[in-house]
Amino acid sequence: MDNKYVIEVKGLTKEYNNLRAVDNLSFEVKKGEILGLLGPNGSGKSTTINCILSLLKFSSGSIKIFGEEMSPDAYDIKRNIGVIFQEVAVFEELTVYENIDYFCGLYIKDKATRKKCIDDAIKLAGLGEFKKFYPKQLSGGLLRRLNIACGIAHKPSLIFLDEPTVAVDPQSRNNILDGIKKLRDEGATICYTTHYMEEAELLCDRIIILDKGKIIAQGSADELKELASIEEKVTVEINNLKPEIIEAVKSAENVDTADYIGNTLVITYKKGQNNFGALIDFMSREGVVYNKIFSERPTLNDVFLELTGKELRD
């Protein structure tokens, strides 16, 4: 068994009545990494995960987990997988503790081991005070955390998280992200889907950007940013800027775009050096008075939007 790859997907294709949701997709997940699957809604992230988990039939391709072919009754593989689905899937009739115990019990027979696992999961998700609560009594963030606790209590070595932070307040989100990192530190491999770029940037070792069922880019966050055609973005706050000055900025060296909206001038630069200094020189030469000026590197969000386009999804 080749231990390097935990998941190997080759040529995965899934069609729903003539619609290609996943199109000849191939990628691998290395042991111990956090892989981010990014993409707009409907790009095929969840479908891919459901195919990997053998919940969905797929038209062609092969999927190996831990070096072995995945199938619905590959129980030895399943035992080491934890899944947190997008929807909160818990029993209304069971308390927080009972819910975790129920799902964990489908993996771990031994009661003592199970109890320890559940306690760890509760601690990880920060649900200690809510053990006896019913799901109905929990807030959205707590429910999400319960959802996660149910998925990882059995200490799986491979964890799928399908947008676990949708509609969650910042406190809960931090708790969840910290938890995921901790799981990784304990040795788990994680496959994480989201459409929050900051999360992916913060969390993932490697990111795959999907659109229309195809991989359009992959690499680490920094590598992806390299892909962007822009190098630097400078924002200047100026009152009453004259049009001829804007034109002058536009024609300056390395400038890609320059837009003056309200009292904010946003200039993007292609590759090149000392663009910021050149701009400041230019402005003091022209006697332009500005309130604030700052330069930033393009974010993953910019890359994402550039790659996937800005039209609305869904």
Q: Which residues bind another protein (CB under 8 A)?
A: 16, 50, 53-57, 72-73, 75-79, 81, 83, 85, 87-94, 98, 102-103, 105-107, 109, 150-151
Residue 173, both tokens:
């989100």
Beta bridge partners of 48: none
- The answer to whether 124 and 179 have CB atoms below 8 angstroms apart is yes
Question: Smaller CB distance to another protein: residue 151 or 298?
Answer: 151
Could you give the count of Cα atoms lying within 13 Å of 230 in the half-sphere of its Cβ? Answer: 24
Smallest Cα–Cα separation from 285: which of 250, 259, 249, 253? 249
Of 2 and 87, the one with the shorter C-beta distance to another protein is 87
**61 in helix, strand or coil?**
strand
Instruction: Give the residues across from 15 on adjacent strands.
Output: 20
Residue 76 CB, shortest distance to another protein, in Å, is: 7
User: Which lies closer to another protein via its Cβ, residue 73 or residue 311?
Assistant: 73
The amino acid present at 62, given as its one-letter code, is S
CB of 206 to another protein, least distance (A): 23
Beta bridge partners of 35: 191, 206
Residue 34 or 148 with smaller CB distance to another protein = 148
> Closest approach of Cβ 251 to another protein, in Å?
50
Q: How far apart are the first and last CA of the chain?
A: 41
Nearest to 267 by CA among 289, 293, 286: 293
Least distance in angstroms from the C-beta of 37 to another protein = 17
Of 71 and 235, the one with the shorter C-beta distance to another protein is 71
DSSP state of 136: G
When the beta carbons of 106 and 266 are compared against another protein, the nearer one is 106
| Whole-number Cα distances in Å, 26 to 18, 60, 93, 149, 208 | 21, 12, 41, 30, 11
Cβ 11 to another protein shortest distance, Å: 18
Closest separation in Å from C-beta 253 to another protein: 53
